[in-house]
Each structure stands twice: as structure tokens, then as C-alpha cells.
């Protein structure tokens, strides 16, 4: 399409001598004008960027909305009275204005352009359908094993334990949920839904929730980090926030709490162990489907969530109760009928999952900081979105607040995943970025930078009431910095900063913790004798 647009604009300027020509496609669903422009990245490589404008703005928008020419230098492409694009010619060369003859040429050109654009759009839809078919075949091959009915029955009929029956430390922010067995993670999810009151409030059938959870676990791939245990860790952290921080409970509606917990469980479904940039550069089927939306993997995670929810036996929202606490962001509604609530839930889950893209988080972080400074308004749609996005990001960073011995083990899995991608990129003849290159990545520098720029700022905002959680992340940063100083004492050990095994070295770990203890630094651990959740 981009090549066709460029060709049309080039020929239009030749046919009707003009200094500028722009072509805008019409997105009827969103009522927006869409323009694709060519830009260059940091490596001076060209890429397409999609720009969108409301159809009500400017002269071009008026033409798109009405289908009528507003001036002599505008013309529309119409197929059976349906506007599909608007072409704009600016600044006639050699004369002050466009002539009636120019208008006739523009009308003639528009007919051929309309046919070309229509055929191109049809071809694009065909390509997308083929990609979806290819992706569906791939997913069917990956998920061929059917969920055992006895597993569904076991999860549906066994008594649901209280959270502390699964582990005395379950209610602590410093507890590592990865210690639970796979079967216990399923039961723990049921326990969290019950303890938060979500099953009763939304009339969620236990059998459907059981099959939903088993389907989610099965949909996660066996990659080093972004697997089911990561999703469960994130959901557990979300549960603790909703359970233990009164301010958050007051600021979120019942639906907000449900959406946040479900999104945490679903946020990395079918993760491939690679990044968005890898998907785009490798031109994978996922990138072909979702690259125009920006967050390739996050869009795929939500699409897979919808696939599971569309299975009748997994649709946990099938029996939505009309008696839920009113939606503050939809306060104008007098009646929350099931269809409205269902659509709202899906929209919110989508927004929360897309918020896990760190690029998206960095874009909205100034707004989050401003909201934290000026105060949260629960009747403000944007504030609710920002709060849920911030909470989702904080939950996604749960490993950063675990005891350092556990936190660095999770970090080792992250770098294992990173380096696998880097090896794949090298095999494809590409040069991976430093963080993905096992020969160049300074692991400790990368950890310190990640904590300073991403993790600590958001954890500081979320856990102002529970300072030990934020301080635990600060302690982990201290340990990484201490490890770095320890290794840099001699040339023989300096090189270990580039070796992933440094994160699992028990000798180095012992030395770091001894230094921390001698300096009075505190490593937070759960004490079962204390009633504090922290």
C-alpha cells in the first residue's frame, strides 16, 4: 500500500503540476484519516510510520466525512458513493490557482486511483487471512494435547485451600510463588479469586474458572522466563496489592480489580522468548499481523486471551452479575447490563495487557508521575487507565522485590532468554543489541540500569504505603552494585560480569551478603511469627 500511495502522489504531481501531494486512506471503523509516511531510524534505515487524524479535522477531514469537494485542489476517490481515500494537491506550479481542466484531470485520476486502492486493500486482507491461517495452524500444532478431564474435575471438586494453607509465607510480598508445584499454582489461583470475592461477585462458575486456568497454563510456552510461572508470580503480586493496600482497593472498582488480576494471568500468553523488535526485524507472522499497532507480542497475548475466552467452557465472564459496584469510569451509565459490562471488561483487559510493553510504559510514565503528584480522581477515565497500567507494570516487576537470592535467579532466566535470541540473530546474520549478546552484555551494568530507569521509579510510586517493598528492591540494587565492585578488584574476576553464571555463583553470593550484613543493609524475609503481610 505504501508503494502504491507513493506512486499515486508522484504521478498526480506530474499530471497536475503541484508542489505537494498527500493521500489519506479512510478508516471507517475509527472514523480516522490514515497516512503512511516514510521515516528513518537511528541506523538511517527507512521504515513506515502510520499517522492518524480525526476525520472531523481540517478541509481534508470535511471532504472525507461529506464526500464533497471543498476546494478545487481536493478530490476524493469514491466507489459506489463510498469514500475510501482523499487526495490533496497543494500549490499549483507556475500559476496561482487550479483550473477547471485540472479538476477534470483530478476526477479522471480519482477513478483509476479508487480501483487501484480497492484492489490493494483486498489483496492486503487476503494476505492477512493467509497469515492468520498460518498462525492458527502453528498454534494448533503447539496445543494439540487436550486438557485432561480428570485435571478439570480435580480442580473443580477439591476443597479450595486458604492462601496460607498453600504456604505460611503466601501473603508476603517477599514470598517466591515459583516454589509451588504446578498443581498448587492452579489451586492458588482459585484461592486468590475466592479470597478477593471475585467468584461470588461476578458469579464465576468454578468449573469454567478451572478450565480457564488450565488452558492458560497450557498456552504458555516452555521458555526460560516468560512462562506460566512468570504469569503466576505476576498474578500473585497483583493479589497481594489488591489485598493489602487499602488505597488501591478504594481507587479501583470491582470490575477494575477483576480485569487487573485476569490480565496479569494472561499478559504473556504464547510468548516466544523474543522481543517485539526481533519479531518486526524478522518479519514473522506475528509482526505481519500486529506491527501496525506497535506492540506486536502484547497484541498477540490479548488475541490469545480472547481465543480462550471464546471457548464456552472457558468463558469465566458468561454469568456477569448486574449487582457489581458501579463503574466509576462509566459513571454516566444508570444500568450496567451484562453486554456493557462484558465489553468494558474486554476493553480494560486489552488496555492493561498492552501496558506491559515497556515502550508504552515509558510513553505514559510522565502522566503517571503527574497523577501521583496532583492526586488520583476515580471519576477520571484517564486516571483509572494510568493507575491500572502502573499497577500492571509494578506486578510485572515482582521479581525485583523478592529476596536477592531469588531475584537474581529470575534475572538469570531473563538473560538466558535474551542470549538465546541473540544467538538466533547471529545465526540469521544480524547483529544483536548489547543486552542480547552473550559476548558483550555486562550483566551487572544492565541490571543496575534497569533498576534505576524502570523498576525503582514505579515501585516507589506504588509502594509509598509499604516502604519495605520498595526498600527490598533498593537492597537488591545494593547487592548488584556490591557484586560489581567485588568482581572489579582483579582482572581475573572482572570478566565474570559478562558471564551469566555470575548470577548463580554461590561463592560470590555469600561474599555479597556478608558485605551487606557488615554494612547494616537489610534483606527482607518473611517471618511466619509476625502478622504483618509485609
Binding site, annotated residues for Zn(2+)? 230, 267-268, 396
Q: Catalytic pick from 186, 226, 301, 383?
A: 226
Give the annotated binding-site residues for AMP: 226-230, 268, 396, 447
Distance (Å, whole) CA 270 – CA 266: 9
Angle at 67 between CA 65 and CA 72, to 5 degrees: 115
Residue 393: name the closest of 430, 367, 431, 424 by CA.
Answer: 367
Which cell numbers in the block locate residue 452?
534505576
Number of helices (H), then strands (E), belonging to the chain: the values are 23, 5
3-state secondary structure at position 512 = helix
Distance (Å, whole) CA 439 – CA 312: 48
Question: 18 - beta bridge partners?
Answer: 92
Distance (Å, whole) CA 503 – CA 154: 38
226 is catalytic: yes
Burial class (CB in 10 A: 0-12, 13-18, 19+), 77: buried
Spatial contact of 7 and 76, defined as CB atoms under 8 Å apart:
no
3-state secondary structure at position 475 = helix
Residue 416: name the closest of 229, 252, 225 by CA.
Answer: 225
3-state helix/strand/coil string of 239-269 = HHHHHHCHHHHHHCCHHHHHHHHHHHHHCCC
Distance (Å, whole) CA 451 – CA 449: 5
Largest CA distance in the chain: 89
Q: Which residues does 27 contact at the CB level (< 8 Å), separation at least 6? A: 33, 34, 52
In 10 A of CB 17, how many CB atoms? 14
3-state secondary structure at position 89 = strand
Residue 475: name the closest of 532, 423, 519, 409 by CA.
Answer: 519
Burial class (CB in 10 A: 0-12, 13-18, 19+), 161: middle
Catalytic residues: 226
Amino acid at each position: 500500500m505504501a508503494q502504491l500511495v507513493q506512486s499515486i502522489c508522484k504521478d498526480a504531481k506530474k499530471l497536475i503540476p503541484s508542489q505537494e501531494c498527500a493521500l489519506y486512506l479512510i478508516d471507517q471503523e475509527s472514523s480516522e484519516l490514515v497516512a503512511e509516511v516514510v521515516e528513518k531510524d537511528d541506523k538511517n534505515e527507512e521504515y513506515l510510520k502510520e499517522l492518524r487524524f480525526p476525520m472531523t479535522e481540517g478541509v481534508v477531514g470535511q471532504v472525507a466525512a461529506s464526500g464533497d469537494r471543498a476546494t478545487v485542489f481536493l478530490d476524493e476517490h469514491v466507489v459506489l458513493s463510498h469514500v475510501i481515500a482523499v487526495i490533496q494537491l497543494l500549490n499549483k506550479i507556475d500559476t496561482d490557482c487550479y483550473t477547471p481542466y485540472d479538476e477534470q484531470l483530478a476526477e479522471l485520476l480519482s477513478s483509476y486511483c479508487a480501483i487501484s486502492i480497492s484492489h490493494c486493500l483486498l489483496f492486503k486482507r487476503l494476505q492477512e487471512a493467509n497469515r492468520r491461517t498460518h498462525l492458527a495452524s502453528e498454534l494448533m500444532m503447539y496445543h494439540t494435547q487436550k486438557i485432561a478431564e480428570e485435571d478439570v474435575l480435580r480442580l473443580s471438586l477439591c476443597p479450595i485451600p486458604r492462601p496460607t494453607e498453600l504456604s505460611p509465607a503466601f501473603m508476603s510480598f517477599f514470598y517466591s510463588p515459583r516454589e509451588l508445584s504446578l498443581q498448587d499454582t492452579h489451586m492458588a489461583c482459585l484461592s486468590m479469586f475466592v479470597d478477593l470475592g471475585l467468584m461470588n461477585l461476578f458469579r464465576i462458575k468454578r468449573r469454567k474458572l478451572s478450565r480457564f486456568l488450565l488452558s492458560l497454563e497450557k498456552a504458555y510456552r516452555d521458555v526460560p522466563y516468560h512462562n506460566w510461572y512468570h504469569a503466576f508470580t505476576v498474578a500473585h503480586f497483583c493479589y497481594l496489592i489488591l489485598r493489602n493496600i487499602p488505597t488501591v482497593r478504594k481507587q479501583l472498582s470491582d470490575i477494575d480489580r477483576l480485569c487487573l488480576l485476569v490480565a496479569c494471568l494472561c499478559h504473556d500468553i504464547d510468548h516466544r522468548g523474543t522481543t517485539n523488535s526481533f519479531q518486526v526485524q524478522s518479519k514473522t507472522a506475528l509482526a505481519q499481523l500486529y506491527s501496525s499497532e506497535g506492540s506486536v507480542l502484547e497484541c498477540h497475548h490479548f488475541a490469545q486471551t480472547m481465543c480462550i475466552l471464546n471457548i464456552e467452557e472457558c468463558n469465566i465472564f458468561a454469568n456477569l452479575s448486574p449487582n457489581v459496584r458501579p463503574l466509576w469510569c462509566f459513571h454516566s451509565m444508570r444500568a450496567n447490563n451484562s453486554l456493557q459490562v462484558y465489553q468494558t471488561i474486554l476493553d480494560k483487559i486489552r488496555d492493561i495487557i498492552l501496558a506491559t510493553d515497556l515502550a508504552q510504559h515509558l510513553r505514559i510514565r510522565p502522566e503517571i508521575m503527574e497523577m501521583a503528584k496532583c492526586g488520583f480522581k476515580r471519576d477520571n477515565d484517564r486516571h483509572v487507565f494510568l493507575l491500572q497500567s502502573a499497577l500492571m507494570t509494578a506486578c510485572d516487576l515482582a521479581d525485583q522485590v523478592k529476596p536477592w537470592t531469588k531475584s537474581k535467579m529470575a534475572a538469570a532466566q531473563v538473560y538466558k532468554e535474551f542470549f538465546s535470541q541473540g544467538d538466533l540473530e547471529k545465526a540469521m546474520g544480524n547483529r544483536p543489541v548489547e543486552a542480547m549478546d552473550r559476548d558483550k552484555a555486562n550483566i551487572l551494568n544492565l541490571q543496575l540500569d534497569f533498576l534505576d530507569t524502570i523498576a525503582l521509579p514505579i515501585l516507589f510510586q506504588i509502594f509509598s504505603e509499604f516502604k519495605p517493598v520498595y526498600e527490598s528492591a533498593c537492597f537488591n540494587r545494593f547487592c548488584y552494585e556490591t557484586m560489581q565492585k567485588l568482581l572489579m578488584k582483579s582482572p581475573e574476576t572482572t570478566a565474570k560480569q559478562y558471564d551469566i553464571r555470575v548470577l548463580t555463583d554461590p561463592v560470590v553470593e555469600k561474599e555479597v551478603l556478608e558485605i551487606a550484613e557488615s554494612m547494616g543493609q537489610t534483606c527482607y524475609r518473611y517471618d511466619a511469627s509476625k502478622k504483618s503481610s509485609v
